Amino acid sequence: MCGGCCRRQRGPDGAPVGGGGRRGCCGTVLAVVALAAAAAVAFLESTAGGVSYAGEGWMHECAKWDAEGGRFLASTFFGAGVAEVRTGGEEAAEERVVLADPDAAGRVALGFAVDAPRRRLLLVYSDRMPRYGYAALGAYELGSWRRLFLTRLDVPGESTFPDDVAADEDGNAYVTDAMRNKIWKVSPDGTLLGIIKNATFTQRQGMVHNFVGLNGIMYHPNGYLLVVHTSGGDLFKVDPKTETVHVVKVQGSLKRGDGLELLSTTRLVVAGTPSRLVESSDDWETATVTGQYVGPIHRIGSSATVKDGDVYINHIFGFGLGKKKTHVLAKAVFSPLAAAR
Ligand SMILES: *[C@@H]1O[C@H](CO)[C@@H](O)[C@H](O)[C@H]1NC(C)=O
């Protein structure tokens, strides 16, 4: 009804006209709509067992559980850093910024990996959109947050969009380029070792199928990388030593798949809208989407992490009217998919 009420305040050309006699009506209706929207949001967000926390900034791309530190860590997008979230039972938590590297100020912090054996965090930095020039990987000690290295990955004059990172058992890091469908390989001490490129990464030609390319990446303990191509929904198995690339034959759709996390050697979580559970019984030659979890879709699920055997989905967008926004790590309960039964 607000439309009809408000429209009367506009002239025939659509421009607002004076005499706000109906402003009260409109304001009331808007307030009711806002309340209804808030109620809908509250309903959508009744994610039992999840974590909600207050933090500065609208956007958090990635969150991971740091088991040794007993905390979640989240990348703070425009803050170009990392915040920790400690949850004490049911009460709402608040983030605390633990890392803001001055040399990355003005950039964007995206995917990261907790390299637990080396007690460090690997963090991907990109340019502020719509610029796509800068790409870097930073490594920081998990306790002191001392920087170990900050390595530039981009080539002058070439656009790029670094997105996510995984570490192998030796501490080599693999960073995806969602714009150019390639993977940078960085040594444990921060030396750029090379780039894994393969035509297989581009299963379909054209911008519409490659708007967001190689994105979420995970190192499997059997010695290979699993990488998802977001726009195409393709899952790849990459041998980092031989640089051979195979398409995992997936039954079910992984379109819009974003961050990855292994729940076990045979079960992979693909965060996104929706988030999906994928299982393989042949070492990731083939796989089946066996479950999905929708969660608060207006917040956009973007990364997954596992804490005590439970999956938590990070969402990009925080909401709230004050300076602090409320962010949600939703505990994912996957509904079985009919096709997989
Ligand atoms: C790409 O991967 C295929 C296997 O899918 C392999 O045969 C080929 O050598 C790779 N190409 C490059 C340039 O590494």
- The dihedral built from the CA positions of residue 80, 69, 279 and 275, taken in this order, carries a sign that is negative
| Confidence at residue 2, expressed as pLDDT on a 0 to 100 scale | 37
**Å from CA of 199 to ligand 1 middle:** 8
Say how far apart CA 332 and CA 138 lie, in whole Å: 30
Return the number of other C-beta atoms located less than 10 Å from residue 194's C-beta.
Answer: 12
**Å from CA of 328 to ligand 1 middle:** 40
143 φ/ψ sector (left φ>0, alpha ψ -120 to 50, else beta): alpha
Atom in ligand 1 nearest the alpha carbon of residue 196: 14
**Å from CA of 196 to ligand 1 middle:** 10
Range with the lowest mean pLDDT among 2-11, 32-41, 196-205, 229-238?
2-11
**Å from CA of 246 to ligand 1 middle:** 8
Say how far apart CA 15 and CA 66 lie, in whole Å: 55
In this structure, the residue with its CA closest to atom 8 of ligand 1 is 244
Say how far apart CA 47 and CA 288 lie, in whole Å: 26
Atom in ligand 1 nearest the alpha carbon of residue 244: 2
Q: Give the tens place of pLDDT for each residue, 191-238.
A: 999 999 999 999 999 888 888 999 999 999 999 999 999 999 999 999
**DSSP per residue over 105-139, as a string?**
TTSEEEEEEEEGGGTEEEEEEEPPTT----EEEEE
Segment 158-185 shows an average pLDDT of: 97
Looking at CATH, the fold of the domain delimited by 50-340 is given as Neuraminidase (2.120.10)
What pLDDT band is residue 321 in, cutting at 50, 70 and 90? Answer: confident
Range with the lowest mean pLDDT among 32-36, 112-116, 145-149, 212-216?
32-36
Above 50 in pLDDT, residue 7?
Answer: no
Query: Looking up tokens 């699993």, which residue turns up?
Result: 226
Say how far apart CA 169 and CA 7 lie, in whole Å: 63
Ligand 1 in contact with 244 (CB < 6 A)?
yes
In this structure, the residue with its CA closest to atom 9 of ligand 1 is 244
Domain ranges across the chain: 1-9+20-46, 50-340
Distance of CA 314 to the CA centre of its chain: 7
Does 145 or 21 have the greater pLDDT score?
Answer: 145
Burial 7-40 (b: 16+ CB within 10 A, else e): eebeeeeeeeeeeeeeeebbeebeeeeeeeeeee
Supply 102's token pair. Answer: 């001055």
Atom in ligand 1 nearest the alpha carbon of residue 199: 1
pTM across the whole model: 0.85
